[in-house]
Amino acid sequence: MPEQDPTASPADVVVLGAGIAGLTSALTLAEAGHRVRVWSADDPTATTSAHAGGVWKPTYQAPLAGSLARAARSLEEYLRLAALPGTGVRMVDSVTVGEVPDRDALPAQLRLLPALSPEPPAELPAGFDRGLRHRSPIVDLPRHVGWLVDRLTELGGKVETRHVESVDEPLGQADVVVVAAGLGSRELADDPTVRPLFSQYVVTDNPGITQLLVEISDSRRWTSIIPHDDRVHLGGVRVPGRTDATPDREEAREILHRCREAEPRLRDARVLRIDTGILPSRPTTRVEAEHRGDGLVVHNYGHGGSGLSLCWGTAHEVVRLVAERDPAADRSRAR
């Protein structure tokens, strides 16, 4: 849904980054009537985002009210996209286990999920003693990224492969630059609070699993089973500070062991690959406007391990910050 009158004050915008943060910002800006180019060091199919498992899950980043609003907005968008053909988003039966509070104390984020009810203990996967049943969106990232790029292109947007050293490069060619460069934002925004976070999943073929399993946990290791038509993503492990993306085979064995305990059908599944990525961790995802001379830089980075849960919320905040700029500055730059 456009956030402003498209004819009011369209801007020339360069979005740095074609991960989920950059592409959702670019599409939402184009839908609001802006002229959008995406510059990305990597092809959209080769980003960290393109290898994500594909699950929306509650995210408790501080401040809580902000992350709740972003997660709610993202969930709303996925519910809408799941009803449309070709988006790569669909709804599945799901069970959330792990650090799940009693029904009366459920955090607002879990209450957002449709068809929520306690899961009877006898139905829970092995190793878990409490859980919730609900419906959830899951996102097939390769398809969804393709859909985002196609939709952006239909609206006149462009995606170009281009590495930049500084935001001054695009600022010379645009009214607004959106920094959505994941871990690359650390250098581009000169922000040392962006820290690397290694994450690893194992991908197997699908022996007939249709139900999503997500464990909510603060621990470095957890159990998640994310079923797509042709494969299952099994999580996971995260290691703060690690910058080496080489797959860890011992951790992969442990992930398989945990997931096979929870879902015995995975014992027959064939491992297709190990997916790793270095995530842009930050105490709080940054969505903020910064004036640079006549130009405007809008930051949108630091989504950590919750890019899918936050990205549509942060994209709509980007559109609001661009709408609030002074269009007179665009005109003075054009002169």
Question: Which residues of the chain form contacts with ligand FAD (CB under 6 A)?
Answer: 16-22, 39-42, 47-49, 51-55, 163-164, 180-182, 184, 188, 199, 201, 275-277, 279-280, 301, 303-309
Residue 66 structure tokens:
């902000």
What's the N-to-C CA distance of the chain in angstroms? 32
The number of helix segments (H) and strand segments (E) in the chain equals: 9, 14
**Residues 21/42/250/217 CA torsion (nearest 10 deg):** 0
Q: In the Cβ-directed half-sphere of 183, how many Cα atoms lie within 13 Å? A: 17
Q: Which is nearer to ligand FAD, 9 or 87 (CB)?
A: 87
Q: Which is nearer to ligand FAD, 44 or 131 (CB)?
A: 44
CB-based contact 138:90 (threshold 8 Å): yes
Residue 85 structure tokens:
């053909």
Smallest separation, CB 47 to ligand FAD (Å): 4
Residue 101 structure tokens:
């509070």
Q: 265 by DSSP, 3-state: which?
A: helix
Smallest separation, CB 261 to ligand FAD (Å): 20
Q: Which is nearer to ligand FAD, 41 or 79 (CB)?
A: 41
Q: Which residues pair with 15 in a beta bridge?
A: 38, 178
Q: Which is nearer to ligand FAD, 9 or 56 (CB)?
A: 56
Q: Which is nearer to ligand FAD, 9 or 136 (CB)?
A: 136
Smallest separation, CB 296 to ligand FAD (Å): 18
Smallest separation, CB 299 to ligand FAD (Å): 11
Smallest separation, CB 131 to ligand FAD (Å): 18
